[in-house]
Structure 1
Amino acid sequence: MTPWRLALYWAPEENDALHALGSTWLGRDAASGRAQTQPAVDGMDLAELTADPRGYGLHATLKPPFRLARGYAAARDAAAALAGRTAPFDLPPLAVHDLDGFLALRESAPCPALTAFANACVEALDDHRVPPSEAEIARRRPERLSARQRDYLDRWGYPYVFEEWRFHVTLTRRLAPKEKAVVMPAVTAFLGEAPGRKRQVTSLSLFVQPAPGAPFTIAERLPLRG
């Protein structure tokens, strides 16, 4: 059965400690689809704070979710071709950051190879993307976007691509300052040394959403072979 939406993401490999810890923090493992018992955070409802990122799984977006114009197999072949011509590369150490009120893992230094990979994902799969509906565009609040972001939304179906893209692994919803004062040290301590360890980007993860509102799961990890 063709999934409702496909997304191209980076996700830590399953043998990477960050996969287990990050999935436990969010409360769901996107590889297995199984729920995880979240840690306790004093005075906080962690299940509520992580509800949105939990549905998407532990990841960083390369090409955001899109409905398929030609079916899953054709899109998978295009993604595999991209992975086949992309060489593995080092990912800078990650750390917890405040990203416009959301807590997220971000890279500690610029990574041109990562930016190039994200750009290639946006372009290489675009023929397989159904353009967003008027309602989907409206949900992006185009009146609040910059001119360039609006152009990207019109052309690529998403405003935060190319120069507007920022690598981030979302860990919470947007937090109030009092919430952040508790949750930021809690997630930093819970993840420990795992984000900062040396790692390479060695695969492109295909995440699928089987139906509207359903959680995303990892359908396949395509190895980089360039």
Structure 2
Amino acid sequence: MTFTRLAIYHMPEGDLGEFGSAWLGWDARRAATVPRPQIDNLPASPQELTSTPMRYGFHATLKAPFRLAAGHDLDDLMRQIELVCDHLAPFTLDLELRADWSFVALRPRNRPAELMALEQALVTRLDHLRAPLSPQERDRRNPDKLPERARMHLEHWGYPFVLDLFNYHLTLSNSLSPETEEQLREALAPVIAPLIAEPMPVRSVALLGEDKSRHMRVIREFPLLGRETAQ
């Protein structure tokens, strides 16, 4: 299969992963649409609330969608991801449901060193495999509206919110008005609470490709094989 773009995500496992895929209506692991859950007191239909994140699946971005550089192929990329993951340790994240920045999302209460090391390694050590942004791709990021540091990252790494500006988040909605955002958070809270009662393991990363329908689908998952730090 030919992919328009590739990306590296963390994709939750287990009950949380299953719920997130169902809520968004797209299971990127199975590359299939899935039935939406029935949730009370939603401010609009799930389809209306999630039309943008739906085609990406339930994920947190580690390396944003990109095109492969000339002279490289998917096998090159997978070998490099495997080399990175062989030396990075698994960890856990304590999540909370947030309504901020006009989105409803799950975000970690803190950012462990292992998380920051994972994102930094994937962004920097694979960047030679990323094709430069086209003028259209660059313009879609509205560089003139970005803070200076984010604009520098966009020019250097192809995405503004990396490294010191990276924030792990599992998106659950489109961009919403403040009122709708808070109503959605309140509706989702009792459903999600038991799914995040315990810290979420981060044991692997996933390489995904954008297919001709513009949906992201998993190509391969890579376990983190480094030694865990004693708590």
1:172-202 Cα shifts (integer Å, max 9, x gaps): 0111122123211112222231123233211
Aligned with 1:56: secondary structure? coil
Question: Which amino acid counterpart does residue 19 of structure 1 have in structure 2?
Answer: G
- 1:41–1:176: structure 2 CA closer, same or farther, 3 Å change rule? farther
Aligned with 1:57: secondary structure? coil
Contact kept, 8 Å, 2:108 with 2:168, in 1: the verdict is: yes
- 1:216–1:147: structure 2 CA closer, same or farther, 3 Å change rule? same
Task: Find the counterpart in structure 2 of residue 5 from structure 1.
Answer: 5
Contact kept, 8 Å, 2:88 with 2:114, in 1: the verdict is: no
1:86-121 Cα shifts (integer Å, max 9, x gaps): 1222x2211111230101100012312101110111
Question: Which amino acid counterpart does residue 215 of structure 2 have in structure 1?
Answer: P
Q: What's the offset of the Cα at 1:71? A: 1.4
- 1:181–1:152: structure 2 CA closer, same or farther, 3 Å change rule? closer
Task: Find the counterpart in structure 1 of residue 146 from structure 2.
Answer: 145
Alignment root-mean-square deviation, CA:
1.4
2:55 is the counterpart of 1:47: no
Aligned with 2:114: secondary structure? helix
Once the two structures are superposed, the pairs formed by residues 168-179 of structure 1 within 5 Å of their partners are 168-179=169-180
- Identity over the aligned pairs, expressed in percent? 33
2:26 is the counterpart of 1:28: yes
Task: Find the counterpart in structure 1 of residue 115 from structure 2.
Answer: 114
Number of equivalences: 222
Q: Following the alignment from structure 1 to structure 2, what is the Cα–Cα distance between the partners of residues 144 and 37?
A: 38
Q: Following the alignment from structure 1 to structure 2, what is the Cα–Cα distance between the partners of residues 110 and 202?
A: 16
Q: Following the alignment from structure 1 to structure 2, what is the Cα–Cα distance between the partners of residues 180 and 146?
A: 25
Q: Following the alignment from structure 1 to structure 2, what is the Cα–Cα distance between the partners of residues 219 and 56?
A: 13
Task: Find the counterpart in structure 2 of residue 166 from structure 1.
Answer: 167
Q: Following the alignment from structure 2 to structure 1, what is the Cα–Cα distance between the partners of residues 198 and 53?
A: 23
What stretches of structure 1 of length at least 5 have no aligned partner?
Answer: none
Task: Find the counterpart in structure 2 of residue 205 from structure 1.
Answer: 206
Task: Find the counterpart in structure 1 of residue 86 from structure 2.
Answer: 84
Q: Following the alignment from structure 2 to structure 1, what is the Cα–Cα distance between the partners of residues 3 and 83?
A: 20
Q: Following the alignment from structure 1 to structure 2, what is the Cα–Cα distance between the partners of residues 150 and 178?
A: 30
Normalised to the residue count of structure 2, the TM-score between the two structures is 0.91
Normalised to the residue count of structure 1, the TM-score between the two structures is 0.93
What stretches of structure 2 of length at least 5 have no aligned partner?
Answer: 227-231
Contact kept, 8 Å, 2:50 with 2:174, in 1: the verdict is: yes
1:189-220 Cα shifts (integer Å, max 9, x gaps): 22231123233211111111123x51001111
Question: Which amino acid counterpart does residue 215 of structure 1 have in structure 2?
Answer: H
Q: What's the offset of the Cα at 1:41? A: 4.7
Task: Find the counterpart in structure 2 of residue 192 from structure 1.
Answer: 193
Q: Following the alignment from structure 1 to structure 2, what is the Cα–Cα distance between the partners of residues 160 and 110?
A: 15
Compare 133-142 and 42-51 and name the one that shifted more: 42-51
Contact kept, 8 Å, 1:41 with 1:183, in 2: the verdict is: no
